[in-house]
Amino acid sequence: MLNPRPSIAFGVRSRDPRTPGLWPGSAAGVAVAPAFIVTPDVTLETIELRFPSRIAAVNEAAAAVAEFMNRLGIGEDVAFGVDMAVREAVTNAVVHGNKLDDAKEVGIELSNTQDVFQIIVHDQGSGFNPNEVPDPTRDENILKTSGRGIFFMRNFMDEVDWSADPKGGTRVRMIKKL
C-alpha cells in the first residue's frame, strides 16, 4: 500500500513589502539579495510503504521501488543493483526478521535528494548482528544455499548500515549515489 508523503524541494524567500529593500531574516539596514534556496541534501520526495510479512511482499516492494526509480530517471544498470539489494533486504525482513508472521509488517521508506537515493527497510523482529553472518565468499560457505543477501546489498549499494529500533525490529538503510 502506498502512502506518499512528498516534502518541499525548494524554498523561495520573498521580500517583505512593508520594509523596502529588506528581506525576511535580514537585520535592519542590511539588504539581502533574493535567492532560491537550493541545497543538494534537501529531500525531494519521500514515500512510505507497508507490506505484510509474506514472500509476495518481495515482488510488491521491488515493483514499488522500480516505479520510484523510474520517476527519478535512474538508469537500468543502477536500477538492477538496487532491485537486487531491495529484494534481499525485504526477503531478510520477511523471513528472518518477522519470521513470516502475517501480523507483522515490513516498512519501506524511499527518499531522494539530487545526489542520493535512500531506501530504509524495517522489520518488527528481534534483531540481529550483521557482523555475525558468515562471509559467503569463504570456501566453507560457497556451496551454502543462503547467506548472500548482506553481501549483495553491500556490493550493489554505496552505503549499507543496520540499526536496532528502540521500539523493536531492525532497520537497514541503503544509499545509492546518483
The three state secondary structure string of 53-68 is CCCHHHHHHHHHHHHH
**Count of residues for the chain?**
178
Residue 13 lies in a domain: no
Residue 91 lies in a domain: yes
pLDDT in tens, 107-149: 999 999 989 999 999 999 998 888 888 888 999 988 888 888 8
As for how many domains the chain has, the answer is: 1
Residue 88 lies in a domain: yes
- Residues 25-43 have a mean pLDDT of 48
Residue 23 lies in a domain: no
Beta bridge partners of 118: 111, 175
**43, pLDDT greater than 80:** no
pLDDT in tens, 57-104: 999 999 999 999 999 999 999 999 999 999 999 999 999 999 999 999
Domain CATH for 160 = 3.30.565.10
CA pair distance 54, 58, nearest whole angstrom:
8
Residue-range definition of the domain harbouring residue 49: 45-177
